[in-house]
Amino acid sequence: MGGLLAVHLVLIGCPIIVWQRVTINKPITPETVAFIIPGKTTWAEILEKLGAPDEISESQLGPVARYRFLDEKYFRVNFGWGLRFILPAISPNMSLGGGGIGTDEFQVVLDSNWVVRWHAFSNEARASRFNFWPF
């Protein structure tokens, strides 16, 4: 029992596994925007619930508000870390890792009275999924 505890404590404190995730801006989900009803929801209501957008631009249909959020993930396993105790002069590094980065965007198109015409997600965050095997 004591040996298992010692192994567990060594593995917790060692840099064999590195798991990192960075998210910029609060992700917007379909549940977050369920209150938006095209033809009824106003710009003021959107600002109240979602806050200021990252960008507002003009289109042929009217103003377009864009909310962007970024998600980055990285995972690495160093299988050679434990060998540094057996071969201290060499300190082998045998790492396998992967990750990615993706940006999601939520767009709201408004009419001339600043009422929602339509809204949609543009999902690119699938690029930030974990791929354990790099091929």
Q: pLDDT by residue (tens digit) across 55-90?
A: 999 999 899 999 988 777 777 777 666 666 676 666
Domain with 105 in it = 16-128
The whole-chain average pLDDT of the chain stands at: 76
**Can you tell me the mean pLDDT for 82-104?**
68
Classify residue 3: in a domain, yes or no. no
Classify residue 134: in a domain, yes or no. no
Q: Which residues contact 96 (CB under 8 A, 6 or more apart)?
A: 76, 77, 79, 132, 133, 134
Give the pLDDT confidence score for residue 126 in this predicted structure: 54
**Can you tell me the mean pLDDT for 99-107?**
80
Classify residue 7: in a domain, yes or no. no
Classify residue 124: in a domain, yes or no. yes
Classify residue 135: in a domain, yes or no. no
Strand ranges, E, within the chain: 17-24, 55-58, 63-78, 95-110, 116-122
Classify residue 2: in a domain, yes or no. no
Single pTM value for the model: 0.60
Number of domains comprising the chain: 1
**Can you tell me the mean pLDDT for 41-51?**
95
Whole-angstrom Cα distance, residue 39 to residue 100? 38
Residue 29 has pLDDT above 80, yes or no: yes
Classify residue 87: in a domain, yes or no. yes
Q: Which residue in 120, 101, 97, 118 sits closest to 109, CA to CA?
A: 118
Give the pLDDT confidence score for residue 77 in this predicted structure: 73
Classify residue 64: in a domain, yes or no. yes
SS3 assignment, position 116: strand
